Structure 1
Amino acid sequence: MHRKPQRFFLATLLALSLLPLSLPAWAHPAHAAGTADQVIVLPGATSAEGIAAGSGGTFYAGDLFNGDIFRGDARRGTAERFIDVPDGRMAAGMVADLRHGLLFVAGGFTGQAYVYDLKSGAEVATYQLTDPQNGLVNDTALTRDGAWFTDSLQAKLYFVPIGRKGAPGPARTLNLTGPAADTSGEFNLNGIQAAGRTLIVAHTTHGKVYTVDPVTGASKVIEGVDVPNADGLVLSGNRLWAVNSTSQVSRFRLDPRLTSGVLEKTITSPLFDFPTTAALIDRHRLAVVNAHLTTIPPTSPTYEVIVVEP
């Protein structure tokens, strides 16, 4: 694998220090009795953060600081490097568009977003969504019309449309209002999902989850959905899984109007070490990324995906 520029790596680590540091909590994950969780190592990864569900047991995961993309098979318990990207990229949250054969990847502190071909791994498009000095493109969610991206430092979402022939179009910016627009914390909007015509976003500093109107940018809190250090989100029907960096995943049942939610289950594992994002694979298993960000820079000898019961 080629070597990434050291200066970019160090700058990224400096920016990452903006994360809300509660290291004692992160360093002592909750344990689940009698766990039978599956561990899938990302071979050669130097960091990790995002994950996307593919078809069947396939998933895609990223090397946060190097930007490379791995492709895994949860049924076989294996993973391999799929896309070796150019120098200077990052790979934060990601989502797979199986209908058009595309993988959308948030570029973190580069301010960029990338679109790759799911079959060949070839680059389809690159977008400079925001000035890297001001923004952090953190996570992404898919709708029928395109992909939405969050910015953890600015009260903005970015949208990349998908044309009728499956080609990504010009990006646009949506300015937010309401509680989700509060950027007073050091690390703000993070995970994102789409529920019909409504977007659902997580706020790391507030530990809250909000709905966002994709036309007006207006936002409202979803009452009862409290997630300290909220990171990635997974949505299936009226069930919402929210990953937090206290080494657990919280599962909520949302009401039909998306105004409130009830905690159904707290998922823990002794194998979790700073989980960041998750994806629902095979329709009945939850694949969770271990980012090992309890130290900055991360120093884990391996980075892996932990597959648990949802």
Structure 2
Amino acid sequence: MRKTVRRRAVGGFIALLALLLPTAVPAGASTPSKDDVIVLRGATSAEGIAAGGGTTFYAGELLTGDIFRGDIHDGKAKRFIDVPEGRMAVGMKADTRNDLLFVAGGSTGKAYVYNTDTRKQVKEYDLAPGFINDVTLSSDGAWFTNSATPELYFVPVSRRGELGGAADVETLKVGGEAGTPLQPGQFGFNGIAAADEDDVLIVAHTQNQALYAVDPDSGKSSRIKGPNLEFVDGILVKDRTVWAVQNMANQVSRLKLSENFSSFRVRDVITSKHFNIPTTVARFGDTLAAVNAKFGQQPPPTQYEAVLVPAWD
């Protein structure tokens, strides 16, 4: 893979938000009860969530970049890392062994890494213009998606948590079926997960309502055949099970992958009366925690929360 990040001219943030910030309020939206939700106390927006150690989770305030920490057992969450102005926090993943939290920086074009013990920033990476949407961890680093262009970005990380520098960031141009041009105002790559002992990257493509298998060395991609996944957003993979969040559909589809990752079938559709445009999900054994993003709602929401639902593994 190339050792320099390719920079491309892309449309402004307003065009990218055409899908991210719809104006319609989803059918069935309601005020959550405290039994099934954890309020992100003081949050004014939300998008990403990551499982930490034990029953701890981290969630991001989308439009400020601040990080919240909570616990699915005690049902509480509060602001944990207060970041400088001008940041965003979209998808995120926690490296619990090394106390690191990797955060996709949205329209900033950046990725951030925080130490969850000291609450301090460890690294900041300039990846590319566009919308850095999500991140997954492999055995040797972190992969980030860009919703504006079919590229992935790799940040090397040693087993001891040593991070590569700016010169070590690699850009993978994705070809094949996932490399098709985007329609104006649409999101392409969204959620991402490493699978099959890191030999395959599974990437959600929002515009195409699809999952793709991507070779992390060559960038070659192929569509994973199955029903269209409307509004597909964040994904989570364990072995050959995929949990695919479908934001405006207010559901999480549990999928079963074929042995060669060429196809999938829908095993279950997980819903909740408390879903209000969920975007990403973290797993804690037989429980999923999904963040409500409540994109574009008027009047502006006064509360954001994580919703707990069965994982049905």
TM-score in same-fold range (> 0.5) = yes
Q: Secondary structure at the match of 1:269?
A: coil
- 1:70–1:22 distance in 2 versus 1, CA, 3 Å: closer
The residue number in structure 1 matching 2:302 is 301
Matched, 1:38 2:40: no
Distance 2:29 2:22 in 1: 15
Distance 1:250 1:23 in 2: 24
Instruction: Output aligned runs, 1:208-227, within 5 Å.
Output: 208-227=210-229
The residue number in structure 1 matching 2:182 is 184
Distance 1:200 1:212 in 2: 6
Give the count of matched residue pairs: 291
Distance 1:154 1:206 in 2: 13
Q: Which moved more, 1:198-207 or 1:156-165?
A: 156-165
The residue number in structure 1 matching 2:124 is 126
Measured after TM superposition, the shift of residue 14 of structure 1 is: 2.9
**Aligned equivalent of 1:254, options 246, 252, 257:** 257
Distance 1:76 1:257 in 2: 40
Q: Secondary structure at the match of 2:224?
A: strand
Distance 2:121 2:23 in 1: 37
Distance 1:173 1:13 in 2: 22
Measured after TM superposition, the shift of residue 100 of structure 1 is: 1.8
Instruction: Output aligned runs, 1:65-144, within 5 Å.
Output: 65-131=63-129, 135-144=130-139
TM-score by length of 1: 0.89
Distance 2:29 2:253 in 1: 12
Q: Is the 8 A contact 1:225 1:252 kept in 2?
A: no
The residue number in structure 2 matching 1:275 is 278
Q: Is the 8 A contact 2:277 2:292 kept in 1?
A: yes
The residue number in structure 1 matching 2:51 is 53
Q: Secondary structure at the match of 2:211?
A: strand
Matched, 1:285 2:287: yes
**Aligned equivalent of 2:154, options 159, 174, 196:** 159
- 1:30–1:178 distance in 2 versus 1, CA, 3 Å: farther
**Amino acid corresponding to residue 105 of structure 1 in structure 2:** V
Measured after TM superposition, the shift of residue 226 of structure 1 is: 2.6
The residue number in structure 1 matching 2:202 is 200
Unaligned runs of 5+ in 2: 1-10
The residue number in structure 2 matching 1:28 is 27
- 1:247–1:12 distance in 2 versus 1, CA, 3 Å: farther
Instruction: Output aligned runs, 1:221-236, within 5 Å.
Output: 221-236=223-238
The two structures, once aligned, show a CA RMSD in angstroms of 2.1
**Amino acid corresponding to residue 156 of structure 2 in structure 1:** P
Q: Is the 8 A contact 2:139 2:159 kept in 1?
A: no
**Aligned equivalent of 2:243, options 241, 244, 250:** 241
**Aligned equivalent of 2:62, options 61, 64, 74:** 64
Q: Which moved more, 1:206-215 or 1:225-234?
A: 225-234
Distance 1:125 1:23 in 2: 35
Matched, 1:175 2:173: yes
Q: Is the 8 A contact 1:27 1:294 kept in 2?
A: no
Distance 1:225 1:51 in 2: 26
Distance 2:44 2:208 in 1: 29
- 1:235–1:37 distance in 2 versus 1, CA, 3 Å: farther
Q: Is the 8 A contact 1:153 1:183 kept in 2?
A: no
**Amino acid corresponding to residue 307 of structure 2 in structure 1:** I
1:85-105 Cα deviation digits (max 9, x unpaired): 011000000000112221000
Unaligned runs of 5+ in 1: 1-10
Q: Is the 8 A contact 2:29 2:274 kept in 1?
A: no
1:243-263 Cα deviation digits (max 9, x unpaired): 012111100111121111110
Measured after TM superposition, the shift of residue 16 of structure 1 is: 4.7
Measured after TM superposition, the shift of residue 163 of structure 1 is: 2.5
